[in-house]
Amino acid sequence: MIRLLLAVLVVWSSAASAETLRMAVTTSFHNSGLADVLLPEIADDLGLEVQLLVVGTGQALRLGEAGDVDAILVHSRGAEEAFVAAGYGTHRREIMYNDFVLIGPQDDPAAIAESETATEALTRIAEAQAIFVSRGDDSGTHLKELALWADAGRDPAGFGRWYNAVGAGMGAALNTASGLNAYILSDRASWLSFGNRGDLALLFAGDPVLFNQYAYLPVNPERHPHVAADLARALEDWLVSDRARDLIDGYRMEGEQLFVFNAQSEGDT
Amino acid sequence: MIDLWDGVVQALRLVAGLDATLTDIALRSLQVTLSALGIACLIAFPLAALLAVRRFRWRRTVIAVLNALMGLPPVVVGLVVYVLLSRSGPFGVLGLLFTPTAMIIAQVIIIVPLIASIAHQSLRDLWHDYHDLLISMNVTQGQKLRTLMWDARRALLTAALAGFGRGIGEVGAIMIVGGNIDNATRVMTTAIALETGRGDFALALALGFILIVMTVAINLAVHTLGRTEREGRW
């Protein structure tokens, strides 16, 4: 009986997953809407259905380590290099970048709009003890925020009640910031696609330190023989092609270019 | 308040336009929860009947545990099922993770204790009435169970509807084991969570209203077909 049940389950699941590739991506990539442009083109060009799992960078890396996805597309260089070094991924391929922005109340009590650098902006927030919302979920955005605090010579562990680590995704954290009328670090795409802005506004952007590099990492087939390594390879070739370049560079949201394609043609893998 | 009104308007617009994506995820919601409900009933009803009829040493403990498990946190169930079905887990070779099957498995685990507990309650009362009669007729165990389940069918229907309610509105477990993949494992509740995350409250609310209406419609349909709540009928 149990054997029969298992057999049925296996047939059912394999029928559902023919010619598909599972890729874990970050919320920020998905919120940008770029996936909705790229996926149909990939389906046309390669005949490949890419199934996206939209999770935080931390969870995306875990899914890759467990072999539950075939490839990941995330933005946290240190964590990615550790992933490859530990043998979970074959290599790391840079594809494109977008940028982080600092969002805050329109009247800007900490006056961060006048700062020269991102570090200075955060210092002003800390000195004004203005309410700040942190992702607090080990996502790429959260790790970036922590790195920026470290640059500013401050440790969030010692912050008072003005610092709120919500432990949630970008959208949920933006909702919290909107409710508290607080400062928050967000990726530009999530901010532009966010519908519940309330009194928040984009206050600071443009510091090169805020650039956010996305990289593609195929899961290592030596460790997980079941992963679709051929399909992952085909997808990588497509992602670094001129066709992908035109689509990525040409993508606009509310009239703004979100992503800059910067994949090297070969060799840096 | 504007958000609520926008939600209602958008819900009506989506339903009126028979939005293809909406139909797709609504049907998937039903497919997952109804499959889970069917399997859960097959497990829970005989279990409840057995607990009502049989006397064994750990019976009270089993019943207490079953009652306690009604409050199983779905997110924990999701996590456990994820770990079991993960490629690195014991059932990884089946490749079930991020498929509707995985979602069904998680929901079965969540709703079996609920259905079994509610069903057991009614079956126990009924067994109290039937005990002497059935014992004097010297029927077999199987006949006892079948008689009880058939005569308590309306109470069992209520138990099943409670299970349906918990399953269709559940998001924690299916988000983890299903992954909310567009066109593959996205259902009503995970879509609502996604739109909330995007700050599109109007669309999230619209989906929410549609889900509520769907649930009410199914309950009404079951009651009508089952002819419950009618005068002169039990």
Q: Which amino acid, B137?
A: M
Query: pLDDT tens across B70-124, in order?
Result: 999 999 999 999 999 998 889 988 989 999 999 999 999 999 999 999 999 999 9
Contact residues, chain B, for A65 at CB < 8 Å: 88
* pLDDT tens-place values along chain B, 234 residues long: 567 888 888 888 888 888 888 889 999 999 999 999 999 999 999 999 999 998 888 999 999 999 999 999 999 999 999 999 998 889 988 989 999 999 999 999 999 999 999 999 999 999 999 988 888 988 888 898 999 999 998 899 999 999 999 999 999 999 999 988 888 899 999 999 888 887 788 888 899 999 999 999 999 998 888 776 555 554
Q: What is the DSSP string of A91-147?
A: --EEEEEEEEEEEEETT-TT-GGG-SSHHHHHHHHHHHT--EEE--SS-HHHHHHHH
In chain B, domain spans: 2-226
Mean pLDDT computed over every residue of chain A: 88
- Residues near B105 by Cβ (< 8 Å), separated by ≥ 6? B81, B85, B96, B177
In order of A28, B13, B195, the CA distances from B17 in angstroms are 30, 6, 19
Mean pLDDT of A67-74: 93
pLDDT at B2: 64
Contacts of A8-12 with C-beta under 8 Å, sequence gap 24+, read A9/B94, A9/B96, A9/B101, A10/B94, A10/B95, A12/B99, A12/B101
Residue in A closest to B89 by C-alpha: A66
In order of A63, A233, A268, B11, B45, the CA distances from A91 in angstroms are 16, 11, 10, 45, 52
- Rounded Cα–Cα distance for residues A104 and A202 (Å): 7
- Rounded Cα–Cα distance for residues B205 and B202 (Å): 5
Mean pLDDT of A90-108: 93
Cβ pair B197:A193 closer than 8 A: no
Cβ pair A9:B196 closer than 8 A: no
Query: pLDDT tens across A178-222, in order?
Result: 989 999 999 988 898 888 888 999 999 989 899 989 999 999 999
Residue A38's pLDDT band (cuts 50, 70, 90): very high
pLDDT at A106: 94
- Rounded Cα–Cα distance for residues A254 and B10 (Å): 22
Whether the CB of A171 is below 8 Å from some CB of chain B: the reply is: yes
- Rounded Cα–Cα distance for residues B91 and B88 (Å): 8
Contact residues, chain A, for B198 at CB < 8 Å: 31, 171, 193-195
Using the 8-state DSSP alphabet, how is residue A242 labeled? H
Minimal Cβ distance to B199: which of A67, A196, A226: A196
Residue A16's pLDDT band (cuts 50, 70, 90): very low
Task: Give yes or no for a contact between A134 and A142, defined as CB atoms under 8 angstroms apart.
Answer: yes
Task: Give yes or no for a contact between A100 and A212, defined as CB atoms under 8 angstroms apart.
Answer: yes
pLDDT at A39: 93
3-class DSSP state for residue A21? strand
Q: Is the pLDDT of residue A6 over 70?
A: no
- Residues near B20 by Cβ (< 8 Å), separated by ≥ 6? none
pLDDT at A8: 54
pLDDT at A10: 53
Chain-centre distance of CA B162, in angstroms?
A: 7
pTM over 0.90: no
Cβ pair B184:A178 closer than 8 A: no
Domains of chain A: 20-97+211-261 (3.40.190.10), 100-210 (3.40.190.10)
**B177 min Cα distance to partner chain A (Å):** 11
- Rounded Cα–Cα distance for residues A107 and B93 (Å): 56
Contact residues, chain B, for A17 at CB < 8 Å: 95, 99
Spell out the CATH class of B2-226.
mainly alpha
Contact residues, chain B, for A224 at CB < 8 Å: 87
Phi-psi region of B97 (alpha: psi -120 to 50; beta: other; left: phi over 0): beta
State chain A's maximal CA–CA distance in angstroms: 71
pLDDT at A15: 46
Burial of A202 (0-12, 13-18, 19+ CB in 10 A): middle
pLDDT at A29: 86
Whether the CB of B179 is below 8 Å from some CB of chain A: the reply is: yes
